[in-house]
Amino acid sequence: MILAESPRRQRVTKLVNWGHWFALANIAIAITIASVFIFSSPLPDTVVGTGFLFANWFGHISFMTFFGFVIFVLPLCYLAVSPRVIKTAASIIAAVGLASLAFDALLFNRTGFHISFNSAPLLKTEAQTQISQFSMQDWGFLAMLFIVWLGFQLVLANAIWKRIERLQKKHIGTPVSSFFIVCFVASHAIHVWADAQLYQPIIKQDNMFPLSYPATAKTTMSRYGLLDLVSYQARKQLQFDPQIHKITYPLKPVYCSVEPAHNLTLIVQTDTAPIEALNTLPSLRTLDNYFSSASSLEGLIMTTLFGVPEIYEDTLAKENPVMLALPVAQGMSVSIHTDAPLPNALLEGFRQPISNDHKGLHLAFLPATQIDDYLSESLLAQSDVIIARGFNPGSEAAKGQLHTNMNLKGDIASTEDLAPTILNALGCAAPASFYSTGRDLTQPNRSWLVSTTGEKVIVMHANQRIEVLSNGSYDITDITTGQRSTDNLNVDLLSTAIKHLTRFSTPQ
């Protein structure tokens, strides 16, 4: 006897098959929308990082969309009510879900945040700002846009329903689902390795997609001797993200007074040639062990003016240095003398020819030949002068000297120290930590320096130069001999220095 399927069972089977194809179509749409997250983030610069990006993109977005189908749509298919009702309900769910994904993508593109409880205050502020600018016409346009989007989902649902038998004969479900499963498993497996190795090109993608919680297995790996947790925690403590996306500068409002009648000249050498004029000015005192870690001339100018390392250069494009804004606000004349391009359009207003000898603050970025013409006994007689030598972007050490007629102290100095030193000399008593990572060299309050070059953090202390990569690996060099040192790493100092360096960075 042949038992035929009941009409109810046939309807359920067709609805479930339809639901899977409807989910697949929306997975393709979701993957397309999710490309916004990729274009809104810095792309990895390694093959492994790029491979993980694509595996995570296809694997996570397909899983998230299919999970939504299983939770919200699949149960409806088993109710065996009118297919029209189920298709309409599924279309509404898909339209709302993908619209939410699109909104999250736009939010991420604008702010770097995803929709979450942590971003609720930001969302509220953004929403209030945008809603206050909306007219009834704008609201009508948005409503119409959603109706069109819902209509598209209804058309898609009906098109799949009418062609379900033909689609079932394609036999592409297994290969496609296998591809997404492989991507999902591979992305989590790669992330387990990357997390154990603190591999930055992958680790810094953790927040790229919404509802993403990549797998880790540190405890399990440690249990089987595959990972030293003590070493891992030490490296993680030194880990940092070289990509600064947002900055708070200054860290706190700087309230202090300066002496508008004070004359001070800072000369920063932009090449490595000898300055002959120094031989004729014996009154200048010399401070050895001055270091400039800037990797470009624009980075040198930015680090000098802002008092922070060049890791912050891109985020300071629309900021005014405290060292310039504060004196100008109190009536002091400030000039920048250089033929080089300035890293910030706001700085162009301070550019003056070197022949301009007004009283006030002069900041000159010049090669040795121009410094020879600029330096004179009369300049030293009427102005405090600091000459910074040591910029050499082709050198890892970049060691130079400071020459000055001021009473500067300290056994070691860096470019970041210049802004706090100058503001203090002008009479500003505000803490240097509000606007700089450097120290005031008239009264240095610590014996170590921290700066950056490229994606390296550089810490100098007790005749040691410590270079830390973004993944926490490090190298120690003796400053005097230039030889690699076998001394133990001072983890506490490194951790303190990195926190000091990155405190201007605003978390995403």
Q: Write down the mean pLDDT value for the chain.
A: 85
476-489: per-residue pLDDT in tens?
Answer: 888 888 888 878 77
Domains of the chain are 7-227 (no CATH), 264-502 (3.40.720.10)
Query: Are 272 and 393 a contacting pair, CB within 8 Å?
Result: no
- Given pLDDT bands bounded at 50, 70 and 90, which one contains residue 1? very low
pLDDT at position 474? 75
Average pLDDT on 250-263 reads: 91
Average pLDDT on 75-104 reads: 88
> Highest mean pLDDT range out of 35-49, 462-476, 478-492?
35-49
pLDDT at position 233? 61
Average pLDDT on 67-76 reads: 90
Average pLDDT on 214-218 reads: 72
Q: Is 453's pLDDT higher than 80?
A: yes
Average pLDDT on 270-281 reads: 92
Terminal-residue alpha carbon distance, the chain? 67
334-347: per-residue pLDDT in tens?
Answer: 999 999 888 888 89
Count of CB atoms situated within 10 Å of the CB of 372: 17
Q: What is the CA radius of gyration of the chain?
A: 31
pLDDT at position 51? 94
pLDDT at position 240? 58
10-34: per-residue pLDDT in tens?
Answer: 788 888 889 899 999 999 999 999 9
pLDDT at position 315? 84
Q: Which helix (H) or strand (E) holds 355?
A: none
DSSP 260: T
pLDDT at position 241? 58
Concatenating the DSSP letter of every residue in 448-504 gives -EEEEETTEEEEEETTEEEEE-TTS-EEEEETTT-PBP-PPP-HHHHHHHHHHHHTT
409-445: per-residue pLDDT in tens?
Answer: 888 999 999 999 999 999 999 999 999 999 999 999 8
Q: Which helix (H) or strand (E) holds 98?
A: helix 83-111
